[in-house]
Each structure stands twice: as structure tokens, then as C-alpha cells.
Amino acid sequence: GDSVTQMEGPVTLSEEAFLTINCTYTATGYPSLFWYVQYPGEGLQLLLKATKADDKGSNKGFEATYRKETTSFHLEKGSVQVSDSAVYFCANSWGAQKLVFGQGTRLTINP
Amino acid sequence: EAGVAQSPRYKIIEKRQSVAFWCNPISGHATLYWYQQILGQGPKLLIQFQNNGVVDDSQLPKDRFSAERLKGVDSTLKIQPAKLEDSAVYLCASSLPGAQETQYFGPGTRLLVL
């Protein structure tokens, strides 16, 4: 069945560092891909998405590119801030069916 | 626009007791989801409603879990009897019809079973 594998955390970086959180997926066909973020004390919220190969999703300085050849959707940000500290979830969905989430990666940014 | 509301935010019960969670989705969102998020894992879909009908409950442990959405708006999720392994955060989400890929999540109910 469909699955998503994320880079294990926790990840700790200094402010202004470059961030990569890896995500790979298995799915039938070509799923839509998502990154959700969960800030402390808040609900999950959609960060960005890509619906077809080579699409790039972007939001709040974060980017992820749908790579069909490597079945990946790695999350990147060029310069992280303390306010980016959160748990990040990669997810996929095929044919507008249910979301399948990865296990989450906890990110902590130190000033 | 008000978000997805859930209550209670926290609940502690003993094993074999019963517990119920409530969710009020965003107005106009016909699709409602309940997820279970065990510590250190991603959310897992328990049940999906379209209006008041069940679309997917394949991962709902039906011997102890039940859910309803009688009027197609609010929903309740019940566990009876609870087990230790039910300790988790229970998330409710909603989406517009035909837009299941963009789900809006509530803050969750954190359940601890002792």
C-alpha cells in the first residue's frame, strides 16, 4: 500500500542555517504530495503541496519539488528562524483519497 | 473564519472506561475526518464522513470505537472500553467536498489511558 518515509528526528539547527528534511514515498501511480506543519500547541496545517511530477510547492520560504525519478519530496529552506521550530509531516494522497502521513520530524531552531 | 473545534483538549481515564470526543468542523465543510496520532507517529485515518455518511472506516477498530455525524455537521468519536494502547492524540479535520487534499485540522484531544 501507499506509504511515506521521513528523515528521522529530532533535527536541531542554529538560526539562519540551511534546512533539508527528506521524504520519500511509495504509491500506486502518481500521488499528490504534501508537507504539513504542527507548531507547538496548534493543530496540523498545510504548509505546501505539489500535485504532479516536477511541480514545486512553496510557502513561507519553504520549498519542495516533486521528483518522480527518485520518488522524493524533500523539504528545504535556505535560512531557518526560531519561529520555524515545529513538527513537520510529509504526506501523500492518490486520487483525492485519504492522506497517508509520515512519522513526523521534530525541528528545533536555536537562536 | 472559525477553525475546526474539538473538545475536550485533554482527557485522562482508566482502562476499560468509556470516553467521547466532540468535533465541530468548519462551516460548509461536508467532509469530516477523525485521525489517531500515537506519540512519535504520523496521524492515521480512523474514519471519514461525507455529510452524515461513512466513506472510509477501514482502519477503525469497530469492536471498541464508534463515530457518528447524525446531522452532517458535528461529530462524536467514542471509545468503549478503552485500552492502554488507545493513549494518543485524536485529531478531527474537515474539507470542502471534492477538495479532500486540503484538510483543516483541529487542535486535537490528548487522551491518556491509565
Judged by a CB distance cut-off of 8 A, whether residue B107 touches chain A is yes
Residue A92 in contact with residue A34, Cβ under 8 Å?
Answer: yes
Judged by a CB distance cut-off of 8 A, whether residue B25 touches chain A is no
Q: Which helix (H) or strand (E) holds B3?
A: none
B5, β-bridge pairs: B24
Reading the block at residue A90, the C-alpha cell is: 510529509
Reading the block at residue B97, the C-alpha cell is: 467536498
Judged by a CB distance cut-off of 8 A, whether residue B1 touches chain A is no
> What DSSP designation does B60 have?
S
Q: Which residues of A touch B98 (CB under 8 A)?
A: 96
| Residue A41, pLDDT above cutoff 90 | no
As a whole number, the mean pLDDT across chain A is: 91
| Residue A102, pLDDT above cutoff 90 | yes
Taking CB atoms and an 8 Å limit, are A45 and B105 in contact across chains?
Answer: yes
pLDDT digits (tens, 9 = 90+) for B44-92: 999 999 988 999 999 999 999 999 998 889 999 999 999 999 999 999 9
- Per-residue burial over B73-91, b if 16 or more Cβ lie within 10 Å, else e, is bebebebeebeeebbbbbb
Q: Which helix (H) or strand (E) holds B12?
A: strand B10-13
Dihedral angle, C-alpha B98, B27, B38, A59, nearest 10 °: 70
Taking CB atoms and an 8 Å limit, are A41 and B107 in contact across chains?
Answer: yes
pLDDT at residue A1 in the model? 60
pLDDT at residue A59 in the model? 96
Between A98 and A58, where is the model more confident?
Answer: A58
